[in-house]
Structure 1
């Protein structure tokens, strides 16, 4: 197992089902769906992606992966006969139950699916994966596999060719060896030197403190589409990406709001630099700490540049397990992230509708997320949006909305700093 997986496994032992490592996706399917073809397509995907056959067993107190988990039961619910005014509540309840039911890591498959028939040409598909076998990138990989096989099944044509089904296992072995080499060479201490004042805990207005339930809500940044277009233009002029630019602005806002010396953000990174790894489904991530020093002024260009430099510095250490960075910092007391209470992510799961024959598949907004940080900025890789995620119990929601508004104003200032192309 990789260090990331070992950390996830340990968290699951401490808080089964509520550790924050259930990854839920909801898809709306419009059109004449062939439900049996879809069920078979998921079986095909399970044959293609080794991660979907994974379970985790304990041997002498240590977790080990075994790739012989049984196929999950295909759950189907017909809400067609249910009164229209109660369907939405029933769908929400089924989604919550499907998303929160704990996995038996040793015996169960670590994913489940439920298809809900809403009407003759409308279905909802709920997918839940444990992060031990999935990450944000995997959403797109799985959807592409399932839909290509669904098209072949529904049209009774030849199935797509099956690629190397053991590539994920080989990636895991190589990654674990590389992580050990980086720790042995002292690179974890290099990162810790950048974080000498850790743990970083941003004290923000409205943050009440630790929450027993980490179920999160999202506050979308109130940024018009035209402003996002201008902001992306400003980022290009600065030689940076939207994610880097927003990271710089977010860090600047945190420093200003908390009046701290700097901002430290934990960011998950997809490790898909090996040949063929872009097509793998699985847990291929590490977390890197991004350190942003306070800016003397609110100059948007400076914030964008600071974000770029901080992210590039962090990405130099993707080979270093986050767990070992925390260990190198010394004894840290926290039940969640041992380095910081703030996160930032580039969420690159599919967001645009996909057409397969007469069927249209639409990803729905994320829900039933449990957050390990007190606050996280989630940046959509595609489309014009970003949002602040926060554990509901830990916050005065008005303060989160105020932070979202303040960040939106910084984005607008940066967008206005360049002339139209």
Structure 2
């Protein structure tokens, strides 16, 4: 099976190479060191299909983005509008703060760096933009005039461990909220670790930047620091926002929405088991746990991807869906996944908030083989790529999603796979950090292997559960790489350590007595060992005799209330001894 052009574009995006067609030429915007020989071969191999696809895609869009009329209030983009709305619900929230630490080695002129930052902020209007609501409460973009940049310098060179001090400083800075109306939404501080070793700590709000913007920012700052002259930008982010508002209306919007209405009709909520009840208002308190997928497993996954005609994203994403299905018992899985969404030539070099989130729904019913699942994932993902123009924020509004402050709309788990290289060491344990979803899994290629991280809500999950989750994912990826024709139900999930524990639990084998119901089995234990502990929860425990007494009282009350076999009884209790007694009572 051949790979579709849209799939090649997504693969290249993951590798830090974004293609666009402009003025009759196939052009590329790349992250640093991303244009490898392998990437060049991939582009050349699919050159004609890529050009045709990009030309057709652009032909379905309006004419080029033009500068907006600055005499009128500048609207927010759809993405900005939703984050602004969320900020009104949770003033002072820091979960959408972003950070880009840039190490600087060698002799450094603070004055030259300050000038470069001033030129960068003058070049990109979005870095000096505030979001201000009018008297009717409607927010607009307000662009402040360029001014000299203020670069504070923090000297950590005298600390016993400058690196640790810098890490603590970065964590504290990330927790400082931005004032969206007062601004600025972009700040930088220079940390001095040694006479010729510095760290430029850049922080910005997600409203003015995204993941793709970070390498643009770093690349242009380096060029401006060298004194290079950069070509003028064709448009600014505010121009894109105004264009988006005008273009994504009428028939264009309806055609895209029709797909998503049909695709997400009746989509279920993912029922991941949690360690604590879900709080009424979603918490951003979270932690991150890093892990590694070994090179031999990655090579097996790559071979499978080539044979099945799919991208690595699709292969690993399919395995992730299997994992979620095992954890939830569901075969209809909904997961979010980010996409660069820079599909206009004019915005390729802009810093700004362009990234979109696709809602991917996977059908695992019928116990297919993994290769069969791959083809389902491939078809669904390509269809989503073709309808990626509707911003997630607008999709939520247009679908009339009921607001629930305890969880994010449409999906609660995010998945991302970056085919490009990853930087930074992999940690040994969970690190505290704000999170936006119940669970976010991100993987990135690093050399011959893959590094990953799981960000999770600590209001819902314990570190031990997430450690087990990671182990099961690693085991599943290893199994998929070596056995593609196995049905999903036969794919192994338990780690070697868990299998050893199971073998210990398996002896001696005890034959169960011939009973028809679970409560009859419990009743048998009441006769043989009434004083043995039947249920333990924390510091509380009850014996079989006491459990039988409590459950019998409830059973008698229910019978007196007219409840009989086949009746439905609702229970509303916290997890614990009383809940078990109530369940047994209903059974009785």
> TM-score range with shorter-chain normalisation?
0.7 to 0.9
Determine if the alignment matches structure 1 residue 243 to structure 2 residue 303: no
**How big is the shift at 1:6?**
0.4
Q: Among residues 411, 429, 432, which one is paired with 1:340 in the alignment?
A: 411
SS at 1:114's partner residue? Answer: strand
**TM-score with structure 2 setting the length:** 0.62
Cα offset, 1:346, TM superposition: 4.1
Q: Which residue of 2 aligns with 1:113?
A: 188
Are 1:68 and 2:156 matched, yes or no?
no
| Equivalent residue number for residue 41 of structure 1 | 116
Once residues 223 and 98 of structure 1 are traced to their aligned partners in structure 2, the CA distance between those partners, rounded to angstroms, is 32
Partner residue, 1:358: none
| Alpha-carbon distance in structure 2 between the residues aligned to 1:262 and 1:23 | 33
**Aligned-pair distance for 1:93?**
3.0
Q: CA deviation at 1:305?
A: 3.1
Q: Which has the higher contact order (CA 8 A, sep 6+)?
A: 1
Partner of 2:524: none
Q: Give the whole-Å Cα distance in 2 for the aligned partners of 1:297 and 1:331.
A: 31
Q: 1:324 to 1:51 in 2, by over 3 A?
A: closer
How far residue 89 of structure 1 moved from its aligned partner, in angstroms, is 4.5
Equivalent residues of 1:18, 1:370 under 8 A apart: no
C-alpha displacement of 1:202: 2.6
Is contact 2:301–2:481 with CA below 8 Å preserved after alignment? yes
Match status 1:171 vs 2:240: yes
Conserved 8 A contact 2:94-2:177: no
Give the equivalent residue in structure 2 for 1:77. Answer: 154
- What is residue 451 of structure 2 aligned with on the other side? 385
Alignment partner, residue 357 of structure 1? none
Preserved contact between residue 96 and residue 368 of structure 1 (Cα < 8 Å): no
Give the SS at the match of 2:440. Answer: strand
Using a 3 Å threshold, how does the CA distance of structure 1 residues 47 and 324 change in structure 2: closer, same or farther? closer
Match of 1:54 among 129, 132, 145: 129
Aligned in 2, Cα 1:227/1:96: closer, same or farther, shift over 3 Å? same
Aligned positions of 1:125-144 closer than 5 A: 125-144=200-219
Distance 1:29 1:232, change over 3 A: farther
Preserved CA contact (<8 Å) 1:248 1:303: yes
For 2:291, the equivalent position in structure 1 comes to 221
Out of 271, 290, 303, which is 1:202 matched to? 271
CA contact (8 A) 1:47 1:165 kept: no
Q: Deviations over 1:334-383 (max 9, x none)?
A: 2242112111234589745xxxxxxxxx7999987532210112132665
Contact kept? 1:140, 1:350, Cα under 8 Å: no
Q: Secondary structure at the match of 2:181?
A: coil
Is it true that 1:20 corresponds to 2:95 in the alignment? yes
Mean Cα displacement is larger for which, 130-139 or 60-69?
60-69
Match in the other structure for 2:372: 302
User: Which consecutive unaligned segments of at least 5 residues does structure 2 have?
Assistant: 1-75, 485-588
Q: With structure 1 as the length reference, what TM-score do the two structures score?
A: 0.85
Larger radius of gyration: 2
Alignment partner, residue 470 of structure 2: 404
Aligned with 1:132: secondary structure? helix
| 3-state SS, counterpart of residue 394 of structure 1 | coil
Deviation at 1:10, TM superposition (A): 0.7
> Could you tell me whether the CA contact under 8 Å between 1:266 and 1:288 is conserved in 2?
yes
Residue range with higher mean Cα deviation, 74-83 or 44-53: 44-53
Count of aligned residue pairs for this structure pair: 401
Q: Is the 8 A contact 2:212 2:340 kept in 1?
A: yes
Counterpart Cα distance in 1 of 2:452 and 2:368: 21
SS of the residue aligned with 1:147?
helix
In structure 2, do the counterparts of structure 1 residues 364 and 146 end up closer, same or farther at CA, with 3 Å as the change threshold? farther
The answer on 1:161 being equivalent to 2:230 is: yes
Distance in 2 (CA, whole Å) between partners of 1:207 and 1:307 is 32
Residues 314-336 of structure 1, C-alpha deviation per residue, up to 9 Å, x if partnerless?
A: 22221223234333444523224
Secondary structure of 1:287's partner?
strand
* Residue segments in structure 1 that go unaligned for 5+ positions in a row: 153-158, 353-361
The structure-2 alpha-carbon separation of the partners of 1:414 and 1:178, relative to structure 1 and needing over 3 Å to count, comes to farther
Classify the secondary structure of the residue corresponding to 2:293. coil
CA distance in 1, matches of 2:365, 2:297: 23
Is the alpha carbon distance of 1:286 and 1:179 closer, same or farther for their aligned partners in structure 2, counting shifts above 3 Å?
Answer: farther
**Aligned mate of 1:321, from 391, 396, 407:** 391
| CA distance in 1 between partners of 2:208 and 2:311 (Å) | 28
> d(CA) in 2 for partners of 1:222 and 1:148?
34
Deviations along 1:256-289, whole A, 9 cap, x unmatched? Answer: 2101131111222221111142211101122221
Q: Hey, what's the Cα distance between the residues in 1 that align with 2:226 and 2:457?
A: 39
* Alpha-carbon distance in structure 1 between the residues aligned to 2:160 and 2:287: 28
1:130-177 per-position Cα deviation (integer Å, ceiling 9, x unaligned): 11111110011111111122233xxxxxx2223226343322222222
**Using the alignment, how far apart are the partners of 2:302 and 2:370 within structure 1?**
13
Q: Deviations over 1:234-277 (max 9, x none)?
A: 22332222222222111121112101131111222221111142
In structure 2, distance between residues paired with 1:200 and 1:170: 37
Rounded to whole Å, the distance in 2 between the matches of 1:165 and 1:314 is: 29
Does the CA contact (< 8 Å) of 1:192 and 1:326 recur in 2? no
Is 1:370–2:422 an aligned residue pair? no
Q: Which deviates more from structure 2 when the two are superposed, residues 254-263 or residues 216-225? A: 216-225
Q: Cα deviations across residues 82-114 of structure 1 (Å, max 9, x unaligned)?
A: 223xx3453233212211211111221211111
Change (3 A) 1:329 1:167: closer
CA 1:186 to 1:103, structure 2 compared with 1: closer, same or farther past 3 Å? same
Q: CA RMSD in A?
A: 2.9
- The question of whether the paired residues in 2 share the 8 Å contact of 1:214 and 1:371 is answered with yes
